[in-house]
Structure formats: structure tokens, C-alpha cells
Amino acid sequence: MFKRIIARLDIKNNNLVKGINLEGLRNLGDPKYFALKYYEEGIDEIHYQDIVASLYDRNSILEYISYTAKNVFVIISVGGGIRNNDDIDKVLRSGADKISMNSAVVKNPELIKIASKVYGSSTISINIETIKSTSGYEVLIDSGRQKTGLNLNKWIEKIQKLGAGEITITSIAHEGKKKGFDINLYKMVKKYVSVPLIAHGGAGDIDHIVELFQSCEVDGVALGSILHYSYLEKNILLDNQGKNYFINTEKKIHDDKKITIDKIKKTLKKNGIKVRI
């Protein structure tokens, strides 16, 4: 089995956005451009996350899914604002292969059972946002805005019993920081997880990804900043000089490192990690 390298595209309205600790979002351009580019460059999976789905209508994301499904022949998973089987149906019918849920299943865990019965466990992926508190890791919802009081390990056990087919764990404290993954977190959850596990939050350099796979039993990794800033469109239209400065600085850092999907995979392979090239 090959370790999966997943491109995670957070979408707000019509833009690919990227924040830090799930906050302070910056527009990076047309999500369709990035998805297609990542596919051509050899990505294993595309994840679209509609991060304001609960606030606005979701027709735009259905359009992106539909366009992407016509041109991209790898798995497309979609999350954000999915609350019931009707929502799931719409997203799958648009061309998505996998559904990712977080807030809705915390509010109504039975939804996992209902959905996995109809669509099969492997179609139902659960995203967990977590942050370390004094009593251990706690589960958050609504893009890290809302505390739930749920303990991470207990939540993992519960959703697996209900039929979750895959778990992505986002470390809020590491997300967007580009300083490496929360290695202790992924080591710790190992004994609770019996379905495929994806790590998300923290990749800033290829070494971080190597370290993750070498020290933790994760099946895949979801990458945001490290890819987006490397593959920015040349003439991205920006509305604000401050953002312009920030993004150009980020781009320069990435250009200097010349991070590409191919380079990430080749480096992983050189380090003994099985990846698809």
C-alpha cells in the first residue's frame, strides 16, 4: 500500500483560501486551476473543503466538483456543511467520491451510521479538528471556532463504531504554521485508530512530511500551504497590497525551495517511504 499525498483546498466563496490555525484567510485564486495542476503533477487525491458552507449556499462548490470530476481522474473528497443524506447525494452526484464531515456528526453522531449504511463506510470520512488542553486533546467544530468538550480518543472510538471509514485529524495549533506536524498527537492516537488515518496541519518543508511518515503510523497526509504557495498562478489578481506583499513573500520562499509534488514524492521514496510516482 502506498502512502497518500492529498492536496487540501479550502474554499471560500469562489476562491482557494489559506489561513493559519484555520484563521486569517488569504485568497489564492481559482480552486479549479490548482486542482487540475495538482492532478497533472501526480497528486493522489484532491480534498475540497467549503469552509463557509454553513453560512452561504453551496452551489459554487458543486460546480467545482463537477468541473474537477470531468478532468481529474483521482479521488475527490468534499467536506463542509454536509448535514444529511440529501447533501451527501448532491455532492456525490456532482462527481465527488468521498464525503468528509465534522460539525454535523458531532451534533448528530447517528448520521455516520445512516450515511455509511447507504453509501458504504469507505465513502464516509470524518474530519476531526483538535487542540491540546489541560485534560488532553479536545475536539472542536466549525473550523476550530467551537469547543465541544469531547475527548479526542473517546470520539475516535465512537465514530469508528458508528461506521466512519476514514479519519483525518487536523491539529489546529499546527495548521498553516509550516513548522512541522504534531508528531506526538499522531503517535498517541495510533492505538485508538482502526481505519485509515490522515494527518493534516503543519507541513512547511519536505522534511516535515518525511518525519511524519517515519515516526507515525499514518496512511496519508493532507497538504495545504506547502503546495498552494508553490503552485500559485503567476498573475494572481489581488485586491489588497498587504495580501499582495504577504503572498509574494511566501511565493518567493517556496520558489527558492522549488517544492513540487514530484520532489516531495521522490524525497519520500529516497527515505524509504512507499509512495506512488
Partner 1 sequence: MVSKSEFSNKKKSVTIGIIDTETSNLKNVISACEKEFLKVYLLKKYENISNDIDGLIFPGVGSFNFVMETLKKKKLDKFILEFLKTNKPSLFICLGMQLLFSYSEEVKKSKGLNIFPGSTTLIQANGKRRVPIIGWNTINQKNKNDIFYGIKKTDTFYFTHSFYVLPKNKKIISSESEYFGFKYCSSIAYKNIYGLQFHPEKSSSAGLKIYENFRKLCLA
**1, 86, 134, 258: which one binds partner 1 (CB under 8 A):** 1
66 interacts with partner 1 by CB under 8 A: yes
169 contacts 153 by C-beta, under 8 angstroms? no
Site for partner 1 in 125-144 (CB under 8 A): none
Asked if 22 contacts 129 with a C-beta cutoff of 8 angstroms, the reply is: yes
Residue 157 annotated among the catalytic residues of the structure: no
Least separation, in Å, of the C-beta of 142 and partner 1?
Answer: 26
| Residue of 129, 138, 166, 182 with catalytic role | 129
Q: How far is the CB of 217 from partner 1 (least distance, A)?
A: 6
**Footprint of partner 1 on 76-95 (CB under 8 A):** 92-95
Sequence-distant (≥ 6) Cβ neighbours of residue 164 within 8 angstroms: 112, 116, 121, 124, 125, 126, 195
* Helix, coil or strand: residue 94: coil
Q: Shortest gap between Cβ of 252 and partner 1 (angstroms)?
A: 31
Among 197, 209, 247, 268, binds partner 1 (CB under 8 A): 197
The contact mask relative to partner 1 for 214-253 (x = CB under 8 A, - = no) is ---x-xx---------------------------------
Q: Is 211 a catalytic residue?
A: no
Task: In angstroms, give the least distance from the CB of 75 to partner 1.
Answer: 5
Q: Which is nearer to partner 1, 180 or 196 (CB)?
A: 196
* DSSP codes of every residue in 55-81: TS--HHHHHHHHHHHHH--SEEEEESS
Tell whether residue 29 is a contact of partner 1 (CB under 8 A): no
CB of 18 closer than 8 Å to CB of 204: no
Q: How would you classify the pairing of strands 23-29 and 15-20?
A: antiparallel
Judged by CB under 8 A, which of 34, 38, 48, 119 binds partner 1?
119
- Rounded to whole angstroms, the Cα distance separating 96 from 77 reads 6
Supply the Cα-derived Rg of the chain in whole angstroms: 17
By annotation, the residues acting in catalysis are 10, 129
